Structure formats: structure tokens, C-alpha cells
Amino acid sequence: MDGLIAFWQETGIANFTLGQVVMMLVGVVLLYLAIAKKFEPLLLLPIGFGAILANIPNAGFTDEGGLLYFAYHVGIETGVFPLLIFMGVGAMTDFGALIANPKTLLLGAAAQFGIFATLIGAIGLNLLPGFEFSMQDAAAIAIIGGADGPTAIFLASKLAPELLGAIAVAAYSYMALVPIIQPPIMKLLTTPAEREIKMEQLREVSKKEKIIFPLMVLGMTILFLPAASPLVGMFCLGNLMREAGVVDRLSKTAQNELINIVTIFLGLAVGSKLSADQFLRVETLGILVLGAVAFAVGTATGVLMAKVMCKLSGGKINPLIGAAGVSAVPMAARVVNKVGLEANNQNFLLMHAMGPNVAGVLGSAVAAGILLAVLG
């Protein structure tokens, strides 16, 4: 009889709490979104599965010495995983559109306004009962507006590790919802005539320019914002390996095997922070709301800046490309192209939108560096 009692006490049924059950259901929802809806499946699938593993009673996944414990402390707490992801993204990025039309850097910068507006909003939430966001918490939440998952994880791990799970889930969820969130904002802020504007074909960019560009970006970062150099530096390293043409094996590894392996463990490590005691709090709802606001404001300010540039250029710039200033690469650029084609079936904006899109990656990294330098 004692043996049966001891066995019963070790079962999951006897040890489940309501919070653990709820969080496992959250994990199942993330798996559904990844598999059935194909919303950011490369990360939502391991995050969702990690959430399930983290809430299994007596399994020890997140206890000291457990798999998820080491995945988080080795890869996330140190910032290594987001930096390796940034190197892989750099190796997959073509800066040609940005180099051919450097004015689009302004659009990448304008779209980061959502980050700083949301920083104020997060502090404002403290006026409501149940919210106690510090400046560090507010900065980590605000970076969701950059629509860059690795940057959000990197900054949250440095400034607000206790909010990491909610911030990561919000960041990747809104990135996955780009095709739903952005078009209404783009159409609201532009006229049919503006959406029909056809832009001139971009000039061809030389190999030498593509090699010099990442070195120049890194040099500017070192001089003016060293705090952003971890993210920008790894991004530029990956891009230089791509463009140099002498380390194809390294470039392909960064684009494929390395980034895939890191993505698996990054997702599991983020999922490990979706435990009931850390996620089921009123602050989580605030993070989800603020993340949506940040993303919407970033999209809007990018479009508004593009409208200004359209006026100054005499109608040569389609304001839609400003929406690609958020750094969800290349999804935001594809959404711009789709909305442009709806207005004019001969209006191909994809390459033009890639300029502000990759500028947004740099912009979000710079914004993270500024927040880290001021608040870290």
C-alpha cells in the first residue's frame, strides 16, 4: 500500500497545478499556430514545446542541471544565442537595395519610433493597479516594436530576464501577424494614388560596395554606439562572409546548419521561461497590449516618413515602402509588395522595400544599443 501511495505521489496527475495546466495549453496553442497556421513555425514550435516541457511537474527540465536550465543559462542569459542568430541573418541578407538607395535608411530609423513611444506607454501603465514596470522592464517591452525577435530576446535577457518569456512570445507572435496587422495601417495612411506609384529600377551595386558596407556600418557603431556592437558586429560578420566570396563554406554554415541548431535551443530556452509562476501575471497582458501598440506605431511612422519623402522627391517614392522599416525580414517587404500589387498589378515594390527592411534590422539593433547604454 505504501508503495502505491509513493507511486501516486510521483505521478503528474497528483502534482499538476492549475497554472501548469494553463501554461501547457498555451504551449499547445503555440504549436497549433506554428503547425496549422504556419505563424513563425521555426520558433513558435520549439517555444511551444519548451513551454510544455517546462510545466511538467517533477520532470526537472528547468531545475538546476536540467536541459532547459542549461539551454537558458548558457545561451540566453549570456546573450550567445541571439548573437549567433544575428550572424546567420547577416549571412542571409543582401544589402544591395539599401546601398542602391541609401535614403531608405531614414525609413528604417523612423519605424523605430514605436520603440520609444511604447517605452513611455509602459511607464504610463504603472498608473494602473497591478503594474509595476521599472525603466528596464519598459525598455525590454518597448523593443518588441522593432519586430526583431533576436534583438528582443537579447535586450530582455540583459534588462528584464523575468519578463523574457512574455516578451519573446509577443515579439514572435506579432512578427507572424505582419500580413494581418500592417495592411490596414498602410491603407489608412496612404491614398490610392500614392499606393499606385511605380518606382524606378534600382541601380546595380558592385561587389566592392557590398564588401565595404558591413565594415563601414561596424566602424560607425564602434565610434558612436559601442553598446550596439555585439548585435551589429555579428550581423556584419555574417554579411561579410556572404559578400567576400572566399568563405562560402562558412557562409553556408551560418545560413543553414548553425542558425538551425541555435534556433532549436533558442526556442526551447525561451519556452522554459513560460512557466506558470512567471507568465500568469497581469504584467503579461500589459506586455501583449504594448507589443501590439509598438508594432502598429512603428509601421505608421515608417509610412508617414515615406509620405514626406514622396512629397520631397516629387512623387517618386511609394509611401508603402515605409511599412517595411520594421525589421521583420523579409515578411514586411513581401506585405508591401502585395499591397502595391493590389493597387497596381504592374507595381513591383519588393526590392525597393528590402532597403528599409534591412535598414530596420540595423535600426532595431541600434535602438537596443541605446537602451542598453542608458539603462544597462
pLDDT digits (tens, 9 = 90+) for 180-220: 899 999 999 999 999 999 999 999 999 999 999 999 999 99
Reading the block at residue 355, the C-alpha cell is: 532597403
In a domain, 46, yes or no: no
Statement: residue 9 has pLDDT above 70: no
Looking at residue 27, its pLDDT comes to 94
- Read off the pLDDT band of 39 (50, 70, 90): confident
Distance, in Å, from the CA atom of 185 to the CA atom of 98, rounded to the nearest integer, reads: 24
In a domain, 365, yes or no: yes
In a domain, 24, yes or no: no
Domain count for the chain, please give it. Answer: 1
In a domain, 202, yes or no: yes
In a domain, 107, yes or no: yes
Distance, in Å, from the CA atom of 151 to the CA atom of 140, rounded to the nearest integer, reads: 10
Residue type, 305: M
List helix spans (H) across 72-134: 80-92, 96-100, 105-110, 113-124
Q: Which position has the higher pLDDT, 328 or 211? A: 211
Statement: residue 166 has pLDDT above 80: yes
In a domain, 316, yes or no: yes
Statement: residue 31 has pLDDT above 70: yes
Looking at residue 139, its pLDDT comes to 93
In a domain, 348, yes or no: yes
Distance, in Å, from the CA atom of 326 to the CA atom of 90, rounded to the nearest integer, reads: 16
Q: Which domain holds residue 353?
A: 73-375
The closest alpha carbon to 293, from 123, 107, 144, belongs to 144
In a domain, 32, yes or no: no
Statement: residue 12 has pLDDT above 90: no
Statement: residue 84 has pLDDT above 80: yes
Statement: residue 246 has pLDDT above 80: yes
348 CB burial (10 A radius; 0-12, 13-18, 19+): middle
Vertex 91, ends 374 and 227: CA angle to 5°?
10
Statement: residue 8 has pLDDT above 70: no
Reading the block at residue 338, the C-alpha cell is: 502585395
Reading the block at residue 85, the C-alpha cell is: 542568430
